[in-house]
């Protein structure tokens, strides 16, 4: 064991995989993952990416992208604010009409009686200080509280589904490509087409029937110990898995015909080595592109899955806050989703050069 001879990259990978592995094991053993550990993982990722950017001379590029991100978020916030105010129906309209004095009282309390420009500036001030205010619908709960209480469930659900989709999708696509135009290829692609075409509530319902009603081994809904994770994660992961399988397959078929692969084969390397060592690595670019928005979307909660399995996540809020005209919550959630999307895209762009040295960002 030559610990002294380790390079930064190797130590970093070790520490990162160690902390991530601990977090996953703790979560699956039904322990609460300490916030400190999550923070440490986040920090490690930031450090890793910054060092990587530095080594690749793409620091300027990174900074440019971050500034663009802030501008994008500002534009999104403004548009959302404006669109909300244009929607008919306000947050305090109920079927039993409010006496006008009482309605006036409520609107004054939430600052809705001020002119729109003042409201907008107050809102921007709040965003800058990360104070999104209180929900109009859930009295006494701040938007920050609602998000921090609901986000973990969606995050866990989304992350596991994300990982699952790669674990299933990539081998499946690779397998199909290696057996191109045979029965196995058609079978694999048939399965993945159904995964994309079938609505996820249908897949979910069928899984519930099989595993909760007939076999009685899994609970049909709710979200507690890890056994509750199984059905929602599988249901959520099926469609991305199918997409990734198709992407992988077509990209692999593309790469397999190239010169350097023929060189590798003519060098005498085994099919296995060629396939898994050389072909796969170079086919992952399209998958990488897909995984950026996928990560953002899957982490911010799938409304249908969360409703079907009664998962207390953030997906429900994304939809209901609009029906409720809960302006602060809508704005907070829109920004959350935008941040996730922007960050995922940035990471994916940085990783391009990591995966394919021919791509340079600077």
Partner 1 sequence: MVKNPFEIRGLSMIKSVVSRINLVLFFISTSLLIVLLATVGCKKKSSGGDYGLKKSETLRVRIIGEPPTLDWHKSSDTTSSFIITNLMEGLVQFNYTGPEVTLSPALATSWESSEKAKVWTFQIREGVKWSDGEVFEPKHIVDGWERLLNPATASQYAYYLYGIKNAKAYNEGSLKDFSKVGLELKGNTLKVTLEKPMQFPFMLTHSSTFPVRTDIVNKYGDQWTEPQNIVTLGAYNLIKWEHDKALLATANPLFFDRPAKTKNVVFYVIQETQTAINLFDAGKIDAIRTLPPQDIPALKRRKEYIDYSILSTYYYGFNTSKAPVDNPLVRKAIIHAIDRSQIVKMMQGGQKPLSGWIPFGMFGYDPSVGLAFDPVRAKKLLQEAGYDESNPLPKIQLSFNTLDAHKKIAENVQAQLKENLGITLEIKNEEWKVYLETLKVNPTHMFRMAWVADYPDPNNFFEIQLSYGNNNRTKWKNKEYDKLIEDAVAIIADKPKRLEMYAKAHKILVNDDAPVFPIYTAVAQNLIADRVVSFPTNVMYEFRLKNTSVQ
Q: Minimum Å distance from CB 255 to partner 1?
A: 10
* Rounded to 5°, angle at Cα 341 from 337 and 347: 145
Nearer to partner 1, 29 or 117 (CB): 29
Q: Minimum Å distance from CB 139 to partner 1?
A: 4
Q: Minimum Å distance from CB 70 to partner 1?
A: 29
Nearer to partner 1, 140 or 257 (CB): 140
Q: Minimum Å distance from CB 71 to partner 1?
A: 31
Q: Minimum Å distance from CB 47 to partner 1?
A: 16
Nearest alpha-carbon partner for 178 in 291, 260, 283 = 283
Q: Minimum Å distance from CB 202 to partner 1?
A: 12
CB burial of 167-201 (b: ≥16 within 10 Å; e: otherwise) equals ebbbebbbbbbbeeeeeebeebbeebeebeeeebe
Nearer to partner 1, 11 or 121 (CB): 11
Nearer to partner 1, 249 or 278 (CB): 278
- CB neighbour list of residue 24: distance below 8 Å, 6 or more residues apart: none
Do residues 194 and 291 lie in contact, with contact meaning Cβ atoms separated by under 8 Å?
no
Residue 314: is it exposed, middle or buried by C-beta count within 10 angstroms (0-12/13-18/19+)?
A: buried
Nearer to partner 1, 73 or 155 (CB): 155
Q: Minimum Å distance from CB 75 to partner 1?
A: 26
Nearer to partner 1, 12 or 175 (CB): 12
User: Could you give the CA distance from residue 28 to residue 221 in angstroms, rounded to a whole number?
Assistant: 18
The DSSP-derived string for 272-340 is HHIIIIIIHHHHHHHHHHHHHHHHHHHHT--HHHHHHTT--SSHHHHHHHHHTT-HHHHHHHHHHHHHH
Nearer to partner 1, 88 or 257 (CB): 88
């Amino acid at each position: 064991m030559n610990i002294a001879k380790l390079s930064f990259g190797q130590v970093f990978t070790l520490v990162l995989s160690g902390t991530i592995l601990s977090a996953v094991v703790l979560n699956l053993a039904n322990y609460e993952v300490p916030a400190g550990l999550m923070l440490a993982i986040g920090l490690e990722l930031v450090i890793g990416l910054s060092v990587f950017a530095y080594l690749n001379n793409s620091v300027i590029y990174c900074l440019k992208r971050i500034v663009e991100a802030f501008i994008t978020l500002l534009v999104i916030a403004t548009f959302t604010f404006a669109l909300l105010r244009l929607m008919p129906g306000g947050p305090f309209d109920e079927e039993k009409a409010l006496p006008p004095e009482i309605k006036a009282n409520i609107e004054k309390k939430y600052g809705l009686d001020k002119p729109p420009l003042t409201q907008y500036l107050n809102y921007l001030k709040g965003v800058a200080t990360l104070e999104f205010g209180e929900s109009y619908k859930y009295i006494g709960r701040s938007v920050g509280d609602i998000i921090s209480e609901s986000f973990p469930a969606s995050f866990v659900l989304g992350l596991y589904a994300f990982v699952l989709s790669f674990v299933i999708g990539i081998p499946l696509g690779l397998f199909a490509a290696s057996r191109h135009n045979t029965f196995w290829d058609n079978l694999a692609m048939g399965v993945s087409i159904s995964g994309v075409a079938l609505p996820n509530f249908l897949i979910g319902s069928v899984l519930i029937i099989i595993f909760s009603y007939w076999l009685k081994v899994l609970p049909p809904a709710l979200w507690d110990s890890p056994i509750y994770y199984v059905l929602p994660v599988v249901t959520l992961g099926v469609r991305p898995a199918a997409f990734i399988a198709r992407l992988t397959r077509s990209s692999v078929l593309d790469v397999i015909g190239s010169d350097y692969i023929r060189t590798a084969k003519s060098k005498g390397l085994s099919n296995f080595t060629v396939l898994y060592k050389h072909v796969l690595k170079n086919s992952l670019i399209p998958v990488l592109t897909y995984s950026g928005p996928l990560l953002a979307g899957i982490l911010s909660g799938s409304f249908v899955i969360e409703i079907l399995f009664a998962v207390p996540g953030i997906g429900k809020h994304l939809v209901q806050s609009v029906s409720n005209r809960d302006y602060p919550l809508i704005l907070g959630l829109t920004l959350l989703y935008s941040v996730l999307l922007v960050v995922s895209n940035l990471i994916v762009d940085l990783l391009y050069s990591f995966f394919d040295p021919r791509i340079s960002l600077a």
